[in-house]
């Protein structure tokens, strides 16, 4: 029976999951593939820590060249993460004629053009199912099963850490800082959670989804990115009263030749399926012109779910090798000379509904002043929550607008914040009622 050899870069949590899958499901994978997958070498800086898996003598090495330059290895799995040295290692593997599987969304969002161009030049494949949505097969769905559709939009809950924090805040009424600390203790958030809670991780993933869906190059810095650290328990409470949940949403829509590209906290109606995606789960919603709306849902991170996606890519490359197919599917779903340059829509031009919260002095005429400014900026009020009056101090004034232009909202809030009766900076959250 033919044997395909695999090398692994990175023996952390996901790498350990890959090794476990090799060991536990080797026979099943052989039956499905018709060939034997052999884990030939694992390279990591730490070759002494116990990962809870038994390895053959000599398999683990600290010398990366024993994977990258080994002529017997057909496929290299990159699970180091980050930009460097991952970029250099992936390019070296490609130059050596090896196919690559990676879970590194940050690497591909920033250096994808260089990596995919090198792969095309050297006639090898780069697969990255695990880079978006953990175990959810969204990349293969876009590139294969749904590839005859024109996509109008893609939405996603793409970061399990943020979704876990917001879910806990919603169910328990706790403030952000307290829930974040508990998430770190339980291992759902990193010691430095910046990439997660500030939306950077989700924006990396959105960059890949946009390229796949719309066949365009996406500069990561063009994606508007806003995190969840400003969301309060008060916002969660008012969202519920209006019939919404707050989620960190990655959003891209086609609009008259431009595409929206934004990641930010978003209110979505309680009757939308995405509102029920809680905890560390992820979901991606796609809208195709023939297939209509589709939602893919599952574990967005974790050892086993991510290892499943990695090994699915290894199996797909293995099938292509056995069939003699060379780069059967373009890395980003479009042949490279057909990739377009769609303009990114400015956030100033985005039009949606808004939730507005003001901290104002409890006295007559305040609402009239605020609504007057909103009206002058073409912003109309759809509904309002009027908390009970109390003597002294500030009271929240909470409004939901009809659809408005973002630039108008920002200008109006600057004017409102300058009022003497407004005691703190105004707060707003965008609303998406139509998902798909």
Which two three-digit tokens encode residue 330? 């373009």
**pLDDT of the residue at 423:** 85
What band does 270 get if pLDDT is binned at 50, 70 and 90?
A: very high
Output phi, psi for 195, to 5 deg.
-55, -35
| Backbone Cα Rg of the chain | 24
**pLDDT of the residue at 333:** 87
**pLDDT of the residue at 391:** 46
Count other Cβ atoms within 10 Å, centred on residue 15. 26
pLDDT in tens, 343-368: 999 999 999 999 999 988 878 888 89
Which two three-digit tokens encode residue 415? 């004017």
Indicate the pTM of the whole model. Answer: 0.93
Which two three-digit tokens encode residue 56? 């053959």
Question: Of 98, 105, 143, 205, which residue is the catalytic one?
Answer: 205
- Helix, strand and coil content of the chain, in percent to the nearest 5, comes to 40, 25, 35
pLDDT in tens, 276-327: 999 999 999 999 999 999 999 999 888 899 999 999 999 999 999 999 887 8
Question: What is the distance between the alpha carbons of residues 246 and 21, in angstroms, rounded to a whole number?
Answer: 36
Q: Is the pLDDT of residue 94 over 80?
A: yes
Write down the residue that tokens 């809670």 correspond to: 197
Angle between helices 176-186 and 160-172 in degrees, nearest 10: 120
Residues facing residue 156 across a β-bridge = 250, 284
Q: Is the pLDDT of residue 45 over 70?
A: yes
Ranges of beta strands (E only) in 224-349 are 224-225, 244-255, 258-259, 262-269, 281-288, 292-299, 343-344
What are the DSSP calls for 365-405, one per residue? THHHHHHHHHHHTT--EEEEE-PPP-SSSEEEEEEEESSEE
Question: What is the distance between the alpha carbons of residues 155 and 284, in angstroms, rounded to a whole number?
Answer: 6
Question: What is the distance between the alpha carbons of residues 204 and 132, in angstroms, rounded to a whole number?
Answer: 9
**pLDDT of the residue at 255:** 85
Q: Known catalytic residue: 105?
A: no
For domain 347-431, give the CATH number.
Answer: 3.30.70.260
Contact predicate 60/47, CB 8 Å: yes
Instruction: Report the pLDDT averaged over residues 61-74.
Output: 96
Among residues of the chain, what percentage have pLDDT more than 70? Answer: 98
CA distances to 65, 68, 115, 117 from 122, in Å: 19, 15, 11, 9
Q: Which helix (H) or strand (E) holds 321?
A: helix 303-323
pLDDT in tens, 367-400: 899 999 999 999 999 999 876 655 456 788 899 9
pLDDT in tens, 212-249: 999 998 989 999 999 999 999 999 999 999 999 999 99
For domain 3-127+303-338, give the CATH number.
Answer: 3.40.50.720
Instruction: Report the pLDDT averaged over residues 259-287.
Output: 95
Mean residue pLDDT of the chain comes to 92
Which two three-digit tokens encode residue 181? 């600390």
The domain segmentation of the chain, as residue ranges, is 3-127+303-338, 146-299, 347-431
Question: How many residues would you count in the chain?
Answer: 436
Instruction: Report the pLDDT averaged over residues 44-51.
Output: 91
What band does 335 get if pLDDT is binned at 50, 70 and 90?
A: confident
Q: What angle do CA 27, 29, 34 make, to 5 degrees?
A: 95
Class of domain 146-299: alpha beta
CA distances to 204, 225, 255, 353, 368 from 344, in Å: 16, 13, 10, 20, 37
Angle between helices 13-24 and 26-33 in degrees, nearest 10: 70
Which residue has better confidence, 88 or 397? 88
Assign 3-class secondary structure to 189-252.
CCCCCHHHHCCHHHHHHHHHHHHHHHCECCCHHHCEECCCCCCCHHHHHHHHHHCEEEEEEEEE
Closest CA to 14 of 280, 305, 208: 305
């Amino acid at each position: 029976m033919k044997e395909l050899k695999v090398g692994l870069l990175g023996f952390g949590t996901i790498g350990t999951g890959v090794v476990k899958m090799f060991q536990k499901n080797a026979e099943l994978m052989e039956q499905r593939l018709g060939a034997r997958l052999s884990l030939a070498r694992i390279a990591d800086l730490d070759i002494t820590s116990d990962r809870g898996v038994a390895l053959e003598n000599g398999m683990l090495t600290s010398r990366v060249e024993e994977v990258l330059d080994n002529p017997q290895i057909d496929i290299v799995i990159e699970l180091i993460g980050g930009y460097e040295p991952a970029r250099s290692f992936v390019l070296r593997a490609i130059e050596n004629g090896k196919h690559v599987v990676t879970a590194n969304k940050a690497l591909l969002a920033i250096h994808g053009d260089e990596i995919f161009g090198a792969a095309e030049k050297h006639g090898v494949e780069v697969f990255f199912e695990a880079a978006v949505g953990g175990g959810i097969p969204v990349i293969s769905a876009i590139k294969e099963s749904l590839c005859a559709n024109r996509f109008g939009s893609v939405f996603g809950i793409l970061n399990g850490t943020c979704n876990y924090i917001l879910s806990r805040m919603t169910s328990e009424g706790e403030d952000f800082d307290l829930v974040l600390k508990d998430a770190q203790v339980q291992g759902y958030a990193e010691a430095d959670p910046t990439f997660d809670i500030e939306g950077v991780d989700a924006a990396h993933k959105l960059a890949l989804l946009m390229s796949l869906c719309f066949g365009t190059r996406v500069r990561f810095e063009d994606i508007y990115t806003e995190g969840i650290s400003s969301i309060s328990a008060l916002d969660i409470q008012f969202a519920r009263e209006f019939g919404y949940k707050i989620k960190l949403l990655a959003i891209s829509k086609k609009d008259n030749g431009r595409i929206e590209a934004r990641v930010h906290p978003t209110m979505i109606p309680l009757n939308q399926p995405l509102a029920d995606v809680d905890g560390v789960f992820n979901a991606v919603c796609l809208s195709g012109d023939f297939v209509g709306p589709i939602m893919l849902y599952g574990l967005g991170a974790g050892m086993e779910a991510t290892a499943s996606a990695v090994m699915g890519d290894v199996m797909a490359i293995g099938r292509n090798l056995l069939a003699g197919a060379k780069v059967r599917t373009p890395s980003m779903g479009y042949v490279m000379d057909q990739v377009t340059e769609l303009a990114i829509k400015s956030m100033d031009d985005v039009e949606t509904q808004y939730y507005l919260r003001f901290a104002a002095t409890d006295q007559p005429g305040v609402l009239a002043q605020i609504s007057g400014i909103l009206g002058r900026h073409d912003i109309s009020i759809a509904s309002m929550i009027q908390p009970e009056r109390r003597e002294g101090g500030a009271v929240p004034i909470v409004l939901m607008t009809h659809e408005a232009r973002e630039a108008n909202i920002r200008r109006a809030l600057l004017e409102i914040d300058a009022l003497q009766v407004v005691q703190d900076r105004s707060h707003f959250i965008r609303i998406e009622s139509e998902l798909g």
